[in-house]
Structure 1
Amino acid sequence: MVLAKTPINSGSIQLYGYMAAPDYVDGRLNYVFNHSRDNPAIVQQASLIEMTGPKRGIVMLSDVLMEFDMRIKTGAKEEDDLQLIDGLTCLDKRMSSRPFTLRFNGTSGGAVDMCLALILEGMEVAVVVAISEVQSAFHLSLSSFVSVTEKKGECQEIQLFHDAVSDLCTKRFVVAVPMDTMMHLKFKVGKKGPGGDSRYLCSFDVNRHECVDQQIKIEAACISVKMTVLPPLI
């Protein structure tokens, strides 16, 4: 997700609320974004909104409703806050298997963009990234590359994380991956001084592995990556 527009002119905003989809599995809300007012996400316009979920894949055997209520914290009281987007939309089970961008517009001039694609015969992969032994702050960008089209060799980049890291932390993501394909995780580590960014790649064969652990040792920290193929939801 990307913060496309905001109703206020500010370098960064405090964003809270939720975006979620109740689907075929149990009918309960499966949160894509979920932050309380006391723990808002700090976001800049045109920057990535880090998703807090989903906790599992969103199964689409029929159309799915996406609910959202996202607000900008502006004062001491909730009634002083601004509405970014609020409402619901229907995701059609016949939507494109090629990635496309859907815009959620708010009535006050705010908007959020989300990149979507329907994965046919997909597998669910849990990705856990643990950052430890942090020696100094650094900037980390994490993207997943998977083939989501019928064209061989054509991959789509899905940005999962993009922020500064200054202390140990653990991030968990769920990625839908088509059968008979590879998933690649690209880590881009930003550092000061000459040399620019350093890039690292972890690859994962969905059909051949159930669980893979890899470790990336950089000057500033140690990054442990665990990728696990989850059992079918239905």
Structure 2
Amino acid sequence: MASRCRWPPALARRLDPPLRRVSSEAAWGWGQDANLHDGDEDPRSASKGRRTTEIVIKEDEEEASDYEFSLGNVIEKSGHRDGSMYRAMRWGWKRNYPVGDRSETRLEAMRFSDSTERRSGCTMLQIFSLKLAKIPGNDGLVELYGYIAARDHVDKLLNYVINISRDDPIIVEQGHIHTYGSLISMGGGPKRGIDVADYALIEYDMRIKRGRQERDDLQLIDGASSLHYHGTWHRPFTYGISNDCGGAVDMTLACLCCAVETTVEVLISEVQSGFHMSLRCFTSGFNTEIRLFDGAVVGSCALKRSVVAVVEGSFMRLKFKVSTPSPGSESKRRCTFKAKTHGHNTREIKTDFALISVKVTWSTLPGRFPE
């Protein structure tokens, strides 16, 4: 099979300063640290009736270098709440993506994990984190709901990064730099990998719950953005989506060339007592974390599976941290896996609190899902 990887063009001049604003009018921590390793271990590591939506692109200071990042503009007539997303379907991008079809992607992860056919990775989108950067008219805790989803050419249906119902909103606090209070849990991320060999569409409709009726709620972000594979944004960077309602969400993402779809499954058993656990993931040599889990464990359970993009032949590292309120009862573990196009790897982590079993399954994405 021919490779669907696209390597970035030659280095372009750096943006000075490393920030770009694109505006368009749119209607719309166990004991000592231990390494679990085998042969896969890496030896190193405005007009009336319209809203203006602004994208702010910022380089991650940790990853800054001489690269120029490019991102598609916020698309006009892409509002969900005002219905403009579903009108004027003759627009080119609406012909390319069936935005009127609100179905979730039919393709499950791990489709080619057992394949004997020689396959290669593709250019994939990895979203590292979502952050509530600004709350309109409120500096405290808020109830947040809504969704952010991607559509790619594989089946062009909604692949939810987050999907939170109004009946079960999450509590989020506006954060400040260097704090985690504003992170929006992605709950495992998308259902499957996101292919951006050509381009992809990111849809978002998020609100702040204010009262009993939906009409009392406050819009946070609403619309769609097109992601085109231009420039050299194959390392993490952050862009903020905001509108004239006064709110903003920061998304840290990267486009990874020759990447494979990696499904992480964690089973916790033999629980001796309740504890708090965090699980962080680092992909393809980057220091930017993906928070897979952060919460209490009170009994045997399986965490929601997570889907991560990893560059073929590079490494994915998982870092576990377990603790209880008792002084000194904190333990850390990590395990590293080398990415491949199919198959799976397993690890077992034994602690005083529980047995943690990890399964990592590798797969490529299909060029297109059959109708």
1:164 and 2:296 correspond: yes
Can you give the 5+ residue segments of structure 2 that lack an aligned partner in the other structure?
A: 1-129, 176-181
CA shift in 2, pair 1:37/1:113, >3 Å: same
The 2-side partners of 1:172 and 1:225 are apart by: 11
Matched residue pairs, number? 229
2:150 is matched with 21
Residue identity in the other structure for 1:224: S
Q: Which has the higher contact order (CA 8 A, sep 6+)?
A: 2
Q: Which moved more, 1:187-196 or 1:100-109?
A: 187-196
Residue 133 of structure 1: how far off its partner (Å): 4.3
Give 1 or 2: higher strand fraction. 1
Q: Which moved more, 1:128-137 or 1:219-228?
A: 128-137
* Root mean square deviation, CA, Å: 2.3
What TM-score comes out, normalization by structure 2 length?
Answer: 0.57
Give yes or no for contact 2:341–2:362 (8 Å, CA) kept in 1: no
The 2-side partners of 1:26 and 1:209 are apart by: 21
2:196 is matched with 60
Identity among equivalent pairs (%):
50
2:213 is matched with 77
Residue 155 of structure 1: how far off its partner (Å): 4.4
Which of 166, 178, 183 pairs up with 1:48?
Answer: 183
Give yes or no for contact 2:281–2:292 (8 Å, CA) kept in 1: yes
The superposition leaves residues 113-156 of structure 1 with CA deviations (integer Å, 9 ceiling, x where unpaired) of 111111000011001123344444433221111225xxxxx544
1:87 and 2:219 correspond: no
SS of 2:215 mapped into structure 1: helix
Residue identity in the other structure for 1:66: I
Q: Residues 183-198 of structure 1: matches in 2 within 5 Å?
A: 183-195=316-328, 197-198=330-331
Give yes or no for contact 1:48–1:162 (8 Å, CA) kept in 2: no
Residue 233 of structure 1: how far off its partner (Å): 2.4
Give yes or no for contact 1:147–1:156 (8 Å, CA) kept in 2: no
Give yes or no for contact 1:67–1:88 (8 Å, CA) kept in 2: yes
The 1-side partners of 2:209 and 2:267 are apart by: 30
1:138 and 2:243 correspond: no
Residue 25 of structure 1: how far off its partner (Å): 0.2
CA shift in 2, pair 1:91/1:189, >3 Å: same
1:112 is matched with 249
Residue identity in the other structure for 2:335: C
Residue 189 of structure 1: how far off its partner (Å): 1.8
The 2-side partners of 1:79 and 1:166 are apart by: 38
Q: Residues 29-44 of structure 1: matches in 2 within 5 Å?
A: 29-44=158-173
Q: Which moved more, 1:71-80 or 1:219-228?
A: 219-228
The 2-side partners of 1:166 and 1:72 are apart by: 30
The 2-side partners of 1:220 and 1:80 are apart by: 45
Residue identity in the other structure for 2:337: F
What TM-score comes out, normalization by structure 1 length?
Answer: 0.87
The 2-side partners of 1:22 and 1:70 are apart by: 17
The 2-side partners of 1:173 and 1:26 are apart by: 20
Q: Which moved more, 1:109-118 or 1:222-231?
A: 222-231
The 2-side partners of 1:196 and 1:30 are apart by: 39
Residue identity in the other structure for 2:357: S
The 2-side partners of 1:13 and 1:166 are apart by: 27
